[in-house]
Structure 1
Amino acid sequence: MEEKLKQLLTDKPAVEDKDISTLFKIFQIEPSTSQRSICLQLESAKDVKGTVQLICSNATGDHFFVDLLIAQFSNRNNSEFVSFVSKTANKPSMRAVCQRISSIMEKCRKDEDRKLESRVVLLVSLIASCSSLRISNDESRQWVSFLANKTNTDDVSLKIALATILASPNLMLDQVSFRDEKIGKSLSSFFSYLHSLIQKPEYAPLSNVMILIYVHLVTDNAEDLSILLSNILGHKVPKTLSKQPFVKELYIANAINQQDVAQKAANINITKRLNATMSGYLPVHCICAMLHWRSFSKYSTSINEWVKTQMLECHTPIHPIVPHLLENFASSCIPSETYPHFNQSIDEQFFQEIFSGEIFDDSRLVIRILSLAFLIAFTFKLDSSSNKEGGTIKTPKAYSQSLWKSIPIRYLLIVADMRHSDFQHIRLMLQRYLVLSLPHLLPEQIHFDSFKGQTTHIFTRGKRNVVPVSEFGCALEDATNGHGFFKLSKLTDLLLNLTIQSQMPHFENILQAMTVSLDEERWPRALVEKLVLLWERFDSVLPRRLHEDTIRLWLKSSQASQIPNLDDRDNDFIISHTPLILFRADSRVFKSPPHLKCFCRLLSFYLAASRDANYLKLTRAIAYNTKSEMAEKEELLRSFIGTQRLAVVQVFIELCDGNPKDIPNLEEIQQILCSQIHQFFIADTHLPKLVHFNMYPLRLIPVIVKKVPSTHVLINSINELLTGGNLERRIFTIVLMTELLENYKIPPAFAALTLISDLLDTLISNIINEEFIILMLNITNSLARLIMLSPFHAEHFLATIYRTRKLALNRLALYTSYTKARISPEQKLIEMIDKVLEKLPKLPE
């Protein structure tokens, strides 16, 4: 019989109808040979049509039929059988396969063969992926009903059945134009059955899958849904979401709701060692979407522990979903009118532990950068929230000033920038929120230079050249007590040659040294400058702590203007009272050039912090103010910032005044202060005019004009300064214009002299009074200089001086006594003019 079977199957290119009848008889006599025979026929790839007839006949067992088709459809790319039945021309063969599957489904239901039933579910998932599959309405209802079996309790089989329903729109009629009621009832009942199962802990894997499916359906994420279904079914599933509106609607309504998703998603396992090399849809994607919907806060489900744990499991390179997770979580922690409920934020103790210990510990670098990203996003959203302005909605508590003080913000930003490939995704979020809320903390090139040439993988274990903190502290104490500076100078030189990682442990000692070294007469200038270099290095790591601690030490000094309860004031107090409170620091700071440089950096830092804090308040005001009110507030804020800068510049100009004999470093101090004034003038183009409209001592005009290059802009504002009847301002303007022309011999400067000439002509042509005499007393020397500087106006100014002398002589007759006349302003003016005329050329005849 074996020989007869082999002859029928191999000797002919096609199996004829009479041969098929013979094969049926052989299979009935020996059923065991049917499996070998059909496998042999499939391997030979001859007469697939006849093989289909044999497979679909009752001569083959149900288990064999199902297993055989699973094997063929699982390897569909290399299967002649699948290729044959999938062709449109071979519809009868596909119909025969479908009819045999339908009959097996009926037997499974009657016999309750769970093993065979699970295999049929898998087969249906495979065959349903064929685009050529066309089944009748009755078969569609039967197959969907079979997949939606409410007696099935196998976790894997249920996931396959669910995935098959979602991945196979061709199992049902067009869902867009027609919805079959029977199929709808079957699916609704099945989804409700799944909903009841996932309440049990043993169905946690099924629950996780259903949560992910729910998220994809709600967000219309067809791409990730097809990937998820492909992973479940073991073969590629195309994007079919748009063809399944009926199934989507029934699933969302019956399988799982948002409250279930929120409660169960909080228990989803985190992704271990999450990084950018991981692809596909991860649990963090699901949590991120649900945070965006505010599902957890809506149903009072705690999610902060999950977020904390996932943050701790993040590694480099940072996964691109992590910034979205942190931002969505930060948003969900802030209530609003639309969303009054909010998630509990991460407790402050967690962040205090994260930022405690060694600053340059590379093992904590990732979690610290992620923590900073969350903190800056949460704080900005809280500070800019309209609810904070006395609203009725309860708001979460802000993180303390002590926590912010401990965060090495600039260092973390610098590392994120230097290791761009590791932190490229989180870096963008950090920069965005820092620009919005704390731009004064963004690192500049000078801060990057502190790490130039050093490895970004911080803190390498092993031997390092270090200066012991205790030894440096003892040397500082000896120097403070007058026991010499040799040891401290030597240790400072060693410390300057080390990396910033080795310098940071000396933070407190350097701050203390910056205070005791104010006694400049006793401390060597070279040593103080080295201490300043170390102080500036720390600005690249802990800017806020550095500036706050330094200004507190200087404000507590015995030579400072005492501030009540300074220790009880937080950083907000300093910011809100900047700049005036900073000028109450130790007066010796303003007489020591190295310390004055540090003070200028402190002042710039706090002015920027004050500006940023006020802009945040303005952002919060947008929610409850009209456009015209906002425009008014913006104008007021600009005026306030301008007033702050004006006050600073005026104080700086006052500090430029003094006697070089009393202040040996006056020239250097003036240069430092004028450099700062120059920066202020560049930042605010209206400021130079305001400063000079308010005026300052005439003796300081040469200093300001020579050392502040941006004062040349005042040449175009001479007309505004001259207008009005203010005598002091006219004197100030003419003296100022003389200095400007001395330094900037440009056409607009010479044109401005015409205005001065016209003014003097107007005044001298009217009644001459004491005010005119005082004016000429103060500007005669300036006019003499203008004669030498401007040949275009020399003759006119010389004539003005001669006319003034004659008028002064005439006014001497008004005095009742010779004694009064000799001490009169007119006599002083005549004597001054005579001295000036000796040095000037004669007026031509």
Structure 2
Amino acid sequence: VSPNVFKYLQTLDVKNLAKCDPKDIRPILPCLVRMSLISPVDSTKTCSESRKEILTILSGIEMVNSIVALLSIDFHALEIEVKREQQLRQKGGTTQSDGLLVQSIQNGLAMEFERSDPTRRLRLVLSEILYISSQIQEEQQQQRNVLDTFVKHSDLFENVVYIPEICDVLNIALSELPALLSPTDIVETLLHMKHGPDIICWIVANSPDCFWEVSKSLVGNSDKLEDETNGGKIRIQTLTKLCQMYPAMALAVRSKCVELCRMPALTIVLSLEHGSRTQDGSVCDIVAFTSGLLLGNDQQVRNWFSSYIRGRQKRSRDGTSSLQSLRDELLNYLNNIVTCSTDNKLPETYVVQASSLLRLYCALRGIAGIKLQEEEISLLVKLITSHPPTTTAGVRFVSLGLCMLIACPSLIGNHEAACIQWVQWLASEEAYLESESGMTASFGEMLLLMAIHFHSNQLSAICDLVCSTLGMKVPIRHNNMTRMKHVFTHDIFTEQIVTSHAVKVPVTVNLNANIPGFLPVHCIHQLLKSRAFTKYKVPIKDWIYRQLCVSVPPLHPVLPALVEVYVNSILMPAGKSPQENTNQPISEDEIRAVFSNLLTYSGKKVKGDKNSLTSQLLMLYYLLHYEDVRLSSAANRNKVKSYSQEFLSELPIKYLLQQVQKEQTSYSGIFSSLLRLLATHFPHLCLVDDWMERQSHSIGMLYAGSLHKENFTLTQENIAQGLSMMTTCPSHTGNLLGNMLNMPPAQLWQHASVIIKHFRQTFDPAVPRYIQELYKQVWLRLNSVLPRCLWVMTINALLPDFSVLPTPALTQENVVLDPLQVLRCDPRVFR
């Protein structure tokens, strides 16, 4: 059936239908005859003109008379007889001669059909259809193997000369007996006839509105892995012809196959047919479609299609199969890309297409288990070992190429020299190692990380790295990586070269969890785990310090692990290696530099506050983890550097943790570990009352107002002046303290020494109670920043002042060694 004729009939385009050749119009004559004879519901002028056009078309065709005669039958009486015939056939065990519609056949169905009048012809066709349908149902009920006898013998349907007239009879019967004869049931029966696909197309052409219903039925009634033999081949042929007749629905039928996980061969055939019709982007469609099946999120679809490929490959190597057609099309596309590469340089316009093709072949090999042919292997190696431009897409292409060589070791076989030469070229190509493409995570880091894993024999990590880059889970045997491991560890990256190169790789600026890919930090982390820096005496402290300082939220998940392995490499030497070979701890001055901007305030919001918070948290985690490991390893406790209590008391540990608590989404990977270490080593900072969030200070709110001027800033002088007036002018002091309560604790801390200096003055009986309460709240806010420094400062301010013999100022160490020093304070503080 011509696609144009079907389209014109579907859209009732009678004018274009009149221009068609009579031979093309022949299949839809039953529909046109019924349209011309049956009185229409629409009585408009347009409808009348269309009927005249149809009559003009039919006027010169001789076959119209026999179709008109078919419409003259008494269909009411025929309907009763057909119903009885159906009931008889449902009983089973009947023969062809048992029918009620046709009796006393003398010369066989074919001769009887030729000599009969229209009524008897209709009876003959329906009788044969119902008989064969009953045979099929009986075999299905008995679960007999019908594969070898799928096509049923029928004298009437095997003669091609009678097919047009049989189609006319069936179309009229389906139109006039809709209650008894369903197009979907008739179509299923016709599949078992010799010329079934052609008859089905003629039936659907006369009823365009049933196209989708018939197509869904044909797909839904098929087997899950419909093979291209016997019945499956006929069903595929039928749906292919239907889609050729109505090309616009081809992709919809293909989608229905995928949705129901039926007829995988048909999806390939329709994709190739669609590509040949569209010409533009035909191969891109088949690549995208097949990749979607194998690499999509639907596990059921992936298993269905990969099972088909495996089964088809085992059963037959027929060159005419749809799978082979798919391979030929992909091979042709692959050859075109390779041919376009001059001097082994891949043009930029083909890089993305080549990457998609590599992923598809990798999925076909790794997921569907297809065995690559020699011609495919040769062209794939040529494509992989080509040199793409230094762009983001080019870096992605070489990453996929390298991972494909590892995932598909059969590619290396006879092309080992070319593959090794290409990998060596990658290792020496600065464009990739130095990330000139503009990518944050370049191919150089991935290559370096592979070398590190190969050196430490972490082959499962290599597999994870390959699968992550390819974007698919493919099985990789460890023994298949032996040759590639030797290439990496002996020919390209010796362990000493890896360590010396890794420390020269620039740190990742603004490192955070949103940066994808393989970064220098991954390489350093693996080398620290394998103790390579210690082994070759390569200093790594400066690199780690710089990386921690330029990290931003959200926290990258590998950074806490990096800190842990770095601390272990310092405090827990591998084997019997001397202590001087271990990495060096970060100095106190370097740590102070990280925290220097936390407790200083210039009057403006610092843009990098949140960014510096990340580096401060990482440095705090380093300190706490360092002390934890140092104290737990008794053997090395006295041999390694320890951070003094005075130094640790200068760090705003409590304040930092309170900030992290407010942004747990950005620091979820480190928050629980910090809490654990804090509870272990600084339990006095984990008091419940301190961690409860304080509500707005009601007293402070009442007295914080008169000093709220736009240009007002707290200074040492006005604080000292305001606090000295707590007995003479308490309202002024109350306003000052209220403003302090509205300041962030970190900004308030720079005035801590002046505030604490006036502590003893609050004990004066003339000071109002609300001033004492406000002062206590200010002290508690300072206590959330550097509590231990504040405690020592407060104790020194409350010690008795002997004018004859001045009391030496206490230090943090004095208080830790002798806590009873607190009892020397002014006794009024205990009231």
In the superposition, the TM-score normalised over structure 1's length comes to 0.49
In the superposition, the TM-score normalised over structure 2's length comes to 0.50
